Chain A
Amino acid sequence: MRKPPFTRPVGRLHLDASSIAECRALAAEIAEPLNELARTHTTKSIERAVLRLIGVDGVSPGADGPIPVPNLVVDAIEQSVGLGRGALVPLLHAVETGCGHIQSEAKAIADGATPVVWPDGVELEIAVTRARAEADLAEQRIRAAAAQRDRLIAEVGEAPKPWFYLIVATGNIHDDIPQAQAAARNGCDIIAVIRSTGQSLLDYVPFGATTEGYAGTYATQENFRLMRSALDEVGAEVGRYIRLTNYASGLCMPEMAALAAMERLDMMLNDCMYGIIFRDINMQRTFIDQHFSRMIHALAGIVINTGEDNYLTTADAVDSAHTVLASHFLNERLGLNAGLKEDQLGLGHAFEINPELPDQVLMEIAHAQLIRECFPNHPLKWMPPTKHMTGNVFQGFLYDGMFNLVGALTGQDIILLGMMTEGIHTPFLSDRDLALENADYVFGAAGGLGSEVAYAPGGFIERRAAEVLEECRQMLTKIADVGMFDAIEAGMFGDTSRARDGGRGLDGVIPRERGYLNSIEDRLGDALGIA
């Protein structure tokens, strides 16, 4: 069925504009120390991302299997001259005094054939000049991918909104491809390839095409390339540009962003806190990594998807509704600080209220409409029920239909289609097709509701939205008082407490020293107009 014209209904809830403005001001205050942290620190993954962006790639054999060259080079620099001044200068010094070729010299450092030296005087100037030139090339490469996306959209056609988003997860990229293409042929607009279980905890990016993953397929540059090319092919066939999504999260967040930018992914899951809360990744590491990742996404024209829906899968969806909104204001501020535009902020939220609760759907409408109105220019991502899916696939299909209806009514942009077999197995081909049929029907038949419906003044929906906004304002006030780190330590998000020096990856956080150079960050900052 054809989708009716897409609208984002706003101004329906008569929200207190000053309260929304106060939430934004509080978010800016909370974000400032995190910006400062990112300005004064780097991480191993940022340095590896920088090397990848200037062309370092490949693997070298190791005792437990192949090790990516970017890891080996960064480790070699850390162990010799330290990482406090960044990895670019020592690598490019080796390049300038060696054969001139980046990958060959990176490999030589990785294999221990070339020692790492920090240059002085004119040699330092030469390395810095080269670093600036390489940053220009990296910028051009990222811009070229973004321009190609625009060109392809103009050529094959833009998908009408809302965009239907589906997941493939076979563990074998060569099986993922036909499933993704079948989904696109039957109406899907966005494909996400779920990563292999636990990839976010790996401190390296696996290499090459994946044929065996655990409950997902590793995110690798080669897999990105294969799927992007398959989706371009099917996009031309169906007359819609099909978007590709992966995950810039976990210990390699900046590297994922770099690979996504180079291989023209269109969306990336990228949350400022998800890894901290749900993966026990160190909070300093995460806040530093998210900033640089988002700068890359910003220039690459990638839409980020934030992960607030996850809070509701653990905490209660009614009691914790305001934590989702509070996190949206924070993700928005941190995103804007990194150069992302409002239309690149795919803030995520979910239909997770217990269906046995009276007025469940009214409550969902209140939350979804509230978020729509607080973020009128943002491509919101609407996530289907998971927590209350029981294995009764027939009832689950109905929940997914109600989820779609609320999404249509409140003008959500990106619809992650619910699977009636959620929680039973990774989706069958037919599960995805039935989900598309469900969404096609609801959005085709009811997509125009948003521009027709008004809510009773002072009614349940309006009152509930005001209540959540007020709770959010109070929560942000509290966080601004104690600071973000203390707030997370106090378990204010997702009912989970994490320690500032706990979790994985803190050993990869390095204070920037005098002489630190990351010419790509400088270049991105100039291009995006951020300090």
Chain B
Amino acid sequence: MDIRPYGDAPDDGLVQVSFTLPLAASERARAAALELALKMGLQRPQIVHLKPIGDSFSFFVLYGALEHSVDPETLEVEEQEFPLLAPAEINRVIREQLRRQMVVLGASTGTDAHTVGLDAILSFKGFAGDKGLESYSEMRVVNLGSQVSAQDLAARAIAERADAVLVSQIVTQREAHLRHLSEVREALIATGVRDKVVLVGGGPRLVPAQSIELGYDRIFGRGAKPSEVASFLAWKIASHDRSAA
């Protein structure tokens, strides 16, 4: 059955929208906002608030009845395989599963000299208000920085008894990022530790769907937050397909 947004009566379709237009507050700006609302599918749009921001912008709050509807039963829903957990919960899962700190090793490998993505995920400060893995009390983070070779990374994974290996790739020149990710996996296989670590790759030009073809446990793409990576790591070590050695 189709549904529409609920204001204060079934099927009234009422929604609230707010936006800014790059126009001085004027009758023309008001007309532009109403026209945009109609194009969004809002019937009988009403501007309830218009405020100038400086002399070349206007802020609007509008209400209108949405003409669109959906049948939720017909939608294909792709659930993320792991749940997003709060930091305290992540720490608790690690404590219960490992009974010690989880060792997380991170590096930008190959010729990639960029550490911005790596630091955004690992560094305490994190990214966009989301604290990095260093801020999790039950993780011990070893940030190897950039231009690390796949062999060195595998050797450090053994030396540090890593539970997880994070590989960041930003530069995509001639598919270097894919090659570098494969090199790390092969080095881990060659040294016999691939199955002992959670292997995660990330970078702005990667997408989660590439996880299987690259042989990684998970690939994170543009905009991935540290808390998502941390939630995945906690979920992964708690899932049955990995011995918590």
Q: Point out residues on A near B: beta carbons under 8 Å.
A: 64, 178, 181-182, 185-186, 197-198, 201, 214-215, 277-280, 313-314, 386, 422-423, 426, 428-430, 433-434, 437, 494-496
Bound CA span A186–B89, Å: 42
Given the known inter-chain contacts A182-B54, A186-B54, A429-B53, please indicate yes or no for A215 contacting B128, CB distance below 8 A.
Answer: yes
The one of A178, A185, A430 in contact with B19, judged by C-beta atoms closer than 8 angstroms, is A430
> Which chain B residues in 129-179 approach chain A with CB under 8 Å?
129-131, 134-135, 137, 143
A185 to B54, Cβ gap below 8 A?
A: yes
The reply to whether the CB of B59 lies closer than 8 angstroms to some CB of chain A is yes
Q: Taking CB as reference atom, which chain B residue is nearest A314?
A: B135
Chain B residue contacts of A426, Cβ below 8 A? 128
B113 to A64, Cβ gap below 8 A?
A: yes
B119 to A198, Cβ gap below 8 A?
A: yes
B18 to A201, Cβ gap below 8 A?
A: no
Bound CA span A429–B113, Å: 34
B103-115: contact bitstring with A at CB < 8 Å (1 yes, 0 no)?
0000000000101
B40-82: contact bitstring with A at CB < 8 Å (1 yes, 0 no)?
0000000000010111110100000000000000000000000
Bound CA span A435–B57, Å: 16
B128 to A280, Cβ gap below 8 A?
A: no
Chain A residue contacts of B143, Cβ below 8 A? 280
The 5 A-B residue pairs whose C-beta atoms are closest, nearest first, are A182-B54, A185-B54, A198-B116, A430-B20, A423-B129
Bound CA span A141–B19, Å: 45
Q: Taking CB as reference atom, which chain A residue is nearest B135?
A: A314
A197 to B55, Cβ gap below 8 A?
A: no
Give 20 A-B pairs besides A201-B115, A279-B123 with Cβ atoms closer than 8 angstroms. Answer: A181-B54, A197-B119, A198-B119, A198-B120, A201-B123, A214-B116, A215-B127, A215-B128, A278-B123, A313-B131, A422-B129, A423-B129, A426-B128, A429-B20, A429-B53, A430-B18, A430-B19, A430-B53, A430-B59, A433-B59
Chain A residue contacts of B4, Cβ below 8 A? none
Q: Taking CB as reference atom, which chain B residue is nearest A184?
A: B54
B115 to A182, Cβ gap below 8 A?
A: no
B53 to A182, Cβ gap below 8 A?
A: yes
> Which chain B residues in 1-27 approach chain A with CB under 8 Å?
18-20
The one of A186, A197, A437 in contact with B127, judged by C-beta atoms closer than 8 angstroms, is A197
Chain B residue contacts of A314, Cβ below 8 A? 124, 131, 135
Bound CA span A280–B142, Å: 11
Chain A residue contacts of B128, Cβ below 8 A? 215, 423, 426
Say how far B203's CB is from chain A's closest CB, in angstroms: 13
The one of A181, A278, A429, A495 in contact with B125, judged by C-beta atoms closer than 8 angstroms, is A278
Enumerate 29 A-B pairs (CB-CB under 8 Å) in ascending A order: A64-B113, A178-B56, A181-B54, A182-B54, A182-B56, A182-B57, A185-B54, A185-B55, A186-B54, A197-B120, A197-B127, A198-B115, A198-B119, A198-B120, A201-B119, A201-B123, A214-B116, A278-B123, A278-B124, A278-B125, A280-B134, A313-B131, A423-B130, A426-B128, A428-B20, A430-B18, A494-B124, A495-B137, A496-B134
Say how far B225's CB is from chain A's closest CB, in angstroms: 10
Bound CA span A340–B143, Å: 36
Bound CA span A277–B134, Å: 10
Q: Which of B19, B20, B130 has the most C-beta atoms of chain A within 10 angstroms of its own C-beta?
A: B20
A429 to B57, Cβ gap below 8 A?
A: yes
Chain B residue contacts of A197, Cβ below 8 A? 116, 119-120, 127
Give the tally of cross-chain contacts (CB within 8 A): 65
Q: Which of B123, B125, B128, B134 has the most C-beta atoms of chain A within 10 angstroms of its own C-beta?
A: B125
B124 to A277, Cβ gap below 8 A?
A: yes
Q: Taking CB as reference atom, which chain B residue is nearest A494?
A: B124
Chain A residue contacts of B135, Cβ below 8 A? 314, 496
Say how far A180's CB is from chain B's closest CB, in angstroms: 10
Q: Taking CB as reference atom, which chain A residue is nearest B114?
A: A198
Bound CA span A495–B57, Å: 44
Say how far B110's CB is from chain A's closest CB, in angstroms: 14
Chain A residue contacts of B124, Cβ below 8 A? 277-280, 314, 494, 496
Say how far A400's CB is from chain B's closest CB, in angstroms: 15
Bound CA span A198–B131, Å: 14
Chain B residue contacts of A428, Cβ below 8 A? 20
Say how far A436's CB is from chain B's closest CB, in angstroms: 9
Chain A residue contacts of B129, Cβ below 8 A? 386, 422-423
Q: Taking CB as reference atom, which chain A residue is nearest B128?
A: A215
Q: Taking CB as reference atom, which chain B residue is nearest A436?
A: B53
Q: Taking CB as reference atom, which chain A residue is nearest B116?
A: A198
Chain A residue contacts of B134, Cβ below 8 A? 280, 496
Given the known inter-chain contacts A64-B113, A386-B129, please indicate yes or no for A433 contacting B51, CB distance below 8 A.
Answer: yes
Q: Taking CB as reference atom, which chain B residue is nearest A199?
A: B116
Say how far A376's CB is from chain B's closest CB, in angstroms: 32
Bound CA span A308–B124, Å: 15
> Which chain B residues in 86-123 approach chain A with CB under 8 Å?
113, 115-116, 119-120, 123
Q: Taking CB as reference atom, which chain A residue is nearest B130?
A: A423
Say how far A188's CB is from chain B's closest CB, in angstroms: 11
Chain A residue contacts of B131, Cβ below 8 A? 313-314
Say how far B201's CB is from chain A's closest CB, in angstroms: 19
Bound CA span A19–B130, Å: 37
Say how far A190's CB is from chain B's closest CB, in angstroms: 17
Say how far A274's CB is from chain B's closest CB, in angstroms: 9
Chain A residue contacts of B53, Cβ below 8 A? 182, 186, 429-430, 433
Bound CA span A407–B99, Å: 44
Bound CA span A262–B134, Å: 36
Chain B residue contacts of A386, Cβ below 8 A? 129
Bound CA span A422–B119, Å: 21
Q: Taking CB as reference atom, which chain A residue is nearest B18?
A: A430
Q: Taking CB as reference atom, which chain B residue is nearest A182?
A: B54
Say how far B60's CB is from chain A's closest CB, in angstroms: 9
Chain B residue contacts of A181, Cβ below 8 A? 54
Bound CA span A430–B130, Å: 23
Say how far A146's CB is from chain B's closest CB, in angstroms: 30
Bound CA span A452–B159, Å: 64
Chain B residue contacts of A178, Cβ below 8 A? 56
Chain A residue contacts of B127, Cβ below 8 A? 197, 215
Say how far A11's CB is from chain B's closest CB, in angstroms: 37
Bound CA span A313–B125, Å: 10
Q: Taking CB as reference atom, which chain B residue is nearest A496?
A: B124
Chain B residue contacts of A185, Cβ below 8 A? 54-55
Q: Taking CB as reference atom, which chain A residue is nearest B59?
A: A430
Bound CA span A64–B147, Å: 13
Bound CA span A279–B135, Å: 11
B125 to A279, Cβ gap below 8 A?
A: yes
